[in-house]
Amino acid sequence: MASVSVRRTFSPNPHHRSISSPSSLRTRGPTSASIPYHPPLLLRLLIFFFASGIVLGLTVFSSTYEQHPEPEPDREPVIQSDHRPDKLGMKQLNHVPEQKLIIVVTPTYNRAAQAYFLHRLAQTLCLVPPPLLWIVVETGSKTSSETASILRRSGVMYRHICCKHTSGEVKDRGVHQRNKALDLIEHHRLEGIVYFADDDNIYSLELFDRLREIRGFGTWPVAMLTHDKSKAILEGPVCKNGQVIGWHTNEKSKRLRRFHVDMSGFAFNSTMLWDPDKRVHLAWNTIRQLDTVKEGFQETTFIQQLVEDETQMEAVPSDCAKIMNWHLHLDYRDVVYPNGWHLGNNLQPVVPLKL
């Protein structure tokens, strides 16, 4: 009997088969790359407005940084030249008006209210537009440290000097002090308007503005208290159309003095001290205040060295209708100035604390 061979075919082990995921058994649809994606309408609007904002922002910044030429002010034509402009040409180019130097001369001496008066005058002068030079002349062989401290803190350009020459026979001790300042001005040829400003007077800022208008010699009325403080009087010129036509004064002064002016009621150009073309009386070797005259005559005798008559005077202002400074006649001659302002050490309390 013939034998029958049976050949059995073995399939691979089950663990060698790739088991498809359930999703792979599903029928796959079309891929995402084949279908266009359309974002929602709200998202598209947000993207549009965001892009528009960036474009507008860049436009604003680009216009901000554009250099626009500044409009030039109206200027007078300047002649061009190859050489460098001098000082006068530079001033005309920059339109800076030249201001006259005001030279304020203040005599001072040791008394109780000295610091108060100097502080008050310094506060006024520091408000005056420059240039201004304050010449403070102090009596004695040397300047005091208290006065020097006040001047250093004043913010005003100053020169602090002393006057040794004092005479007991001269009632107005400021005569030699003012002459000391005039020596300094003439020696250094300081060109400007000289004004004698005592420390106990009161001055308005308008006065110093008017001083720069003076060309030669200017004068104005001064209000003052009488010595008994009972009434106020005027002393100075009566003016019309810029010309002096008379004087405010009292009956006693009318018979004695030629010019009825207070020491703080006039100012003059410093070049009159040394320039022959500006001086009226060439016979005077030097123009100074006189210590040989009686009290109250220093003003008129000094002015007579500068001008001959009222026609050579300038009214300040043109109608002399404003009071710009006051002379109060505050007298502290019998009270001495305190010896410094520092407290002593180890002072005992008057009212001790109860601990």
Q: Which residues are annotated as a binding site?
A: 200
Residue type, position 335, single letter: V
> What b-and-e string marks burial along 300-310, b requiring 16 or more CB atoms within 10 Å of the CB?
bbbbbbbbeeb
Q: Count CB atoms within 10 A of the CB of residue 281.
A: 11
Q: From CA 64, how far away is CA 155, in angstroms rounded?
A: 43
Q: Report the DSSP pairing between strands 158-163 and 193-196.
A: unpaired
Handedness of CA 286, 187, 88, 90 (dihedral sign): negative
Three-class DSSP labels, 93-120: HHCCCCCCCEEEEEEECCCCCHHHHHHH
End-to-end CA gap in the chain: 143
Q: In what order do the strands lie in the sheet with 132-139?
A: 158-163, 132-139, 102-108, 193-196, 266-269, 217-219, 314-315
- Name the phi and psi angles at 238, rounded to 5: -105, 125
**All residues at 6 or more sequence positions from 333 whose CB lies less than 8 Å from its CB, including other chains:** 111
Residue type, position 87, single letter: K
Directed axis angle between helix 114-125 and helix 145-152, to 10°? 20
Active site residue 70: no
Q: Which of 98, 299, 308, 310 is catalytic?
A: 299
Burial class, 325, CB count within 10 angstroms (exposed 0-12 / middle 13-18 / buried 19+) = buried
Q: From CA 267, how far away is CA 303, in angstroms rounded?
A: 10
- Name the phi and psi angles at 182, rounded to 5: -65, -35
Annotated binding-site residues for Mn(2+) read 200
Asked if 224 and 329 count as a contact pair (C-beta separation under 8 A), the reply is: yes
Which residues form the catalytic set? 299
